[in-house]
Structure 1
């Protein structure tokens, strides 16, 4: 009787606790922290803006083909917005895709799907853990880029009154929160591009495709958005929200494009995550 009584308890004691979502997030975070590529990207997010500000600030002729370029060598706020305009077009989709485009594909590359899914963690929890880690990493890179750019611009170039898009003079006490808010408007489209990179990472099972595809799509959308006669589809392009910050520097200020951009980004993110989740749910991992 004693053996029969203790047997179920023994089986219960040796049964492993199912990993929670928090456990899976901590596990994925440790994996990401161990990658040299992710560390280099965060360091680059801090160092690269400083180098750009130094180089542009040393130019005798400022870049006059951009919204704030003509004032960038004499005004730190204009310099920060000049860098923002460049980063939103070419840098931000790449920054977030470097991690998001690899986070699922790496499991295929190393043949570790079977291993990670037999460690008392469900597919759903593993999926959402990777999503959370990729999104947080992208937002962290954005914060570092913004802080380094604004800080370096104000320290190196100066912090005098800013000339707005309507020709109005914006005092430094008002310009600083407006510039910070302009950088903050990058968050919704950045998250959407992260989700798009996650989808390509899941679908292609190839890190190169997961990283390159969102960047190529961003370039194509930038090109399409710059063409004439595309006003009907332009609000639905994922690159359009990157330009929504312009309304904050106009007089009177308007936030309609920011709200529309957030809605567009939310739709892109939701569709991408739904498609990626369905692929993961139906993935055959018997081969590794």
Structure 2
């Protein structure tokens, strides 16, 4: 809406409304700045670089390979097998923990410090703050996955080597194709990791407790792993959030099959949407008058 200048008769832009709240962009920048300032966040990313290197060095130096694990028997002699061995181990509990440490804290920390009243009454709206925190949490999860994958693949190839990989069907995969499949296998972790991020957000909002927000998704993930390993529950396994962590197996078979990947997309998306909607509704109905 414009007004007319009394001296010149030209239209002028109306002055901005005082007290208007910042939008989603400002919330994203603020939450990102807060996350970057935390020592814990930096330590997680540094650990995502250093821990895979240490694991590769230790496993490679073992006289006997871990034959009882997927790709374990080839891990000491093949860098691609080593990267897949680390992937199989990380998917069991490392990835849920890696994202829960941030997502499980990002809302509960406001309760811990008693800052909800200040933030919501003076800075921004509940919806804007919710989506800002949620998007930053998901962004960190994907960044942590990228760093962990890059460090693991690089360390495995440089330390162990880049010989042809033996696939799950016994076929020989040349290095050029093997590196593509290994990268794709790690990329398959993104959607279920986002699902665990949203689960951690839900517990962070609902429990108002940092310890619960961090620990609950990890414990639930371990329970799902145990349930998925039981017999007679084939009809339930596709709905477990841990099942998409295994979908990459089809990429290493001959012929390749992508059915589990498609099921994993649906499962991860379903968990993410349900958890985010539930967390949003809990936050919208929260009484913040106490701080």
Same fold (TM over 0.5): yes
Aligned equivalents of 2:39, 2:261: Cα separation in 1: 35
Aligned to 2:136: 133
Q: Deviations over 1:241-275 (max 9, x none)?
A: 00000000000111110110010010000000000
- What is the TM-score when the length of structure 2 is the normalising length? 0.94
Match of residue 160, structure 2, among 157, 160, 176: 157
Pair 1:52-2:55 in alignment: yes
- What is the TM-score when the length of structure 1 is the normalising length? 0.95
| Shift in Å, 1:15 | 1.2
Q: Deviations over 1:8-57 (max 9, x none)?
A: xxxx6681342010100000011111111111001100110000000000
For structure 1, list consecutive stretches of 5 or more residues without a partner in the other structure: 6-11
Aligned to 1:89: 92
Match of residue 175, structure 2, among 172, 180, 189: 172
Aligned to 2:186: 183
Q: Deviations over 1:70-94 (max 9, x none)?
A: 0000000000000000000010000
Q: Matched residue of 2:269: which SS?
A: helix
Pair 1:193-2:203 in alignment: no
Aligned to 2:216: 213
Does the Cα contact within 8 Å between 1:53 and 1:153 map onto a contact in 2?
yes
More helix by share: 1
Aligned to 2:290: 287
For structure 2, list consecutive stretches of 5 or more residues without a partner in the other structure: 1-5, 7-14
Aligned to 1:122: 125
Pair 1:112-2:115 in alignment: yes
Q: Deviations over 1:139-177 (max 9, x none)?
A: 100000000000000000000000000000000000001
Match of residue 273, structure 2, among 257, 270, 277: 270
Pair 1:30-2:37 in alignment: no
Q: Deviations over 1:167-202 (max 9, x none)?
A: 000000000010000000000100000000000000
Aligned to 2:9: none
| Shift in Å, 1:120 | 3.8
- The farther-off stretch of 12-21 and 127-136 is 12-21
Aligned equivalents of 1:54, 1:107: Cα separation in 2: 40
Match of residue 24, structure 2, among 1, 21, 26: 21
Aligned equivalents of 1:82, 1:254: Cα separation in 2: 20
| Shift in Å, 1:121 | 1.1
Q: Matched residue of 1:117: which SS?
A: helix
Q: CA RMSD in A?
A: 1.3
1:236-275 matched pairs, under 5 angstroms: 236-275=239-278
Question: How many residues are treated as equivalent by the alignment?
Answer: 279
Aligned to 1:9: none
Does the Cα contact within 8 Å between 1:161 and 1:170 map onto a contact in 2?
yes
